[in-house]
Structure 1
Amino acid sequence: MTSPASACVMPAGRLAALVDGLDWERIGADLDEAGHALTGPLLTPSECSGLSALYEHDQPFRSRVVMERHGFGKGEYKYFADPLPEAVANLRALLYRRLAPVANRWATAMALDHRYPADHGEFLDRCHAAGQRRPTPLLLKYRPGDYNCLHQDLYGETVFPLQMAVLLSVPGTDFSGGEFVLTEQRPRMQSRATVVPLSQGMGVVFAVDQRPVQGIRGTYRVRHRHGVSLLRSGERFMLGIIFHDAA
């Protein structure tokens, strides 16, 4: 019998060509300037539907979280289990390889000692050695009245400073409201919020916690959080790709 995860097929060659073909120079510049960057289309409508359909099954996942029970907001999400669905694992590794240079540039600018290897498997070995062995990619599901409070996905001491979210539903058709929201907190200033315009299959890369900003007196750190505004109608699914594992 075909498992739900294996039924969600994304050809590895297509994914690799698509990720390599993204405008990484522009993405890197946007990340440096604003702490987030849109990728353009990553997944086809059928791939988005296939991933969303996994949510109704238990097999691909290690746990389910109901946000309201923990004060996270309203709605729910499920963490994928190891081994990750092949499509999710491939996308995670391909994106990491392209984002590692940005992460290292930020680490240098913020005078941090650690550096990130080019290979995602090597980085995961570092997570596991630190006791962070639980996979963190997840599917999120929202219904009317649901929302996600502003937060950070840290999960342990070993953190990759960037992550990605991919919208799997169609705004205005599958749901209304439910905008993806990012905030940044600069020293001695009030927080600034940005609503990110996403379409189905589009990804946004964003800072997990801090990013460097060049000021008049040198480099300083800006702290970021992210969340989802109130869903007014319909049903909204999103794929979250976090590159470090959890303790």
Structure 2
Amino acid sequence: MNAVAARVAAIAWERVEAGLDQEGAAVLPGLLTPAECEAAAALYDQPGRFRSRVVMARHGFGRGEYQYFAHPLPASVAALRASFYPRLVPIANRWQGAMGLAARFPDRHEDFLARCHAAGQLRPTSLLLRYGQGDYNCLHQDLYGEHVFPLQVVVLLSAPGRDFEGGEFVLTEQRPRMQSRPMVLPLGQGDAAVFAVHQRPVQGTRGVYRVNLRHGVSRVRSGHRHTLGLIFHDAQ
């Protein structure tokens, strides 16, 4: 087992599952070391690693930019995705049942990707994001096709207070017949957050109902901020 896989295995998953059930998100402190964060951020300037680059302002997504990795994924990114998926599958399948959704996810990530590919979702979706002063990311959902894994992970690669100011990771929860609830997840360098991609089940007085989540990044006041995003379904 490599170091990253060992760290993922050592996470208190009962606490994470409870946080996801209660809030739709959970923080995982110290997933990557500073050296690992710097190595991951440095990939951004290696264009051969990526299949496409998106400048957010051109599409109304905010300001800043991101790049989707190409196949094969860098070994560090592939190891993270392979380590997280089996830990998240039981939560994802339990949520599907609670929300009355028929789809279930296989134990092996390779089998889920085969399902995506059979439906024409062939492009990798893990990505690196880079923000500068004044940049931000509008609230959104990373859906990409018919087959969507309901949880995803982000890892902050830069150090707040040293590399950048501002740039908080933000979630909003849209509840039926209620006003939206905002959440800010405090992340340090190397910390990760696991959160709902689209919907999560909530127990109400009349049974379980679905709430809709979106995520984004507040305006960076100064410096530069890099983030790694791990998405478990491929794109059309």
TM-score, length basis structure 2: 0.99
Shift of 1:194: 0.6
Shift of 1:31: 0.2
Q: Distance in 1 between matches of 2:82 and 2:118?
A: 19
Match in the other structure for 1:223 = 212
Q: Distance in 1 between matches of 2:195 and 2:52?
A: 24
Match in the other structure for 1:242 = 231
Shift of 1:93: 1.2
The structure 1 residue matched to 2:221, chosen from 232, 235, 239, is 232
The structure 2 residue matched to 1:84, chosen from 73, 77, 92, is 73
Match in the other structure for 1:19 = 8
Matches within 5 A, 1:1-247: 13-247=2-236
Alignment-mate amino acid for residue 27 of structure 2: L
Match in the other structure for 1:5 = none
Q: Mind listing any 5+ residue stretches in structure 1 that lack a counterpart?
A: 1-11
Q: Distance in 1 between matches of 2:83 and 2:99?
A: 25
Q: Distance in 2 between matches of 1:19 and 1:48?
A: 16
1:167-212 CA-partner distances (Å, limit 9, x unpaired):
0000010000000000001100111111110000000000000000
Residue 111 of structure 2 aligns to a residue whose secondary structure is helix
TM-score, length basis structure 1: 0.95
Shift of 1:43: 0.6
Alignment-mate amino acid for residue 234 of structure 2: D
Alignment-mate amino acid for residue 198 of structure 2: D
Identical amino acids, percent of aligned pairs = 65
Shift of 1:61: 0.5
1:135-157 CA-partner distances (Å, limit 9, x unpaired):
00000000001000000000001
Count of residue correspondences: 236
1:18-55 CA-partner distances (Å, limit 9, x unpaired):
11000000000100010000112111100000011111
Shift of 1:16: 1.4
1:205-235 CA-partner distances (Å, limit 9, x unpaired):
0000000000000000000000000000000
Cα RMSD between the aligned structures?
0.6
Q: Distance in 2 between matches of 1:230 and 1:177?
A: 6
Q: Distance in 2 between matches of 1:125 and 1:179?
A: 35
Large movers: runs of 4+ above 4 Å? none
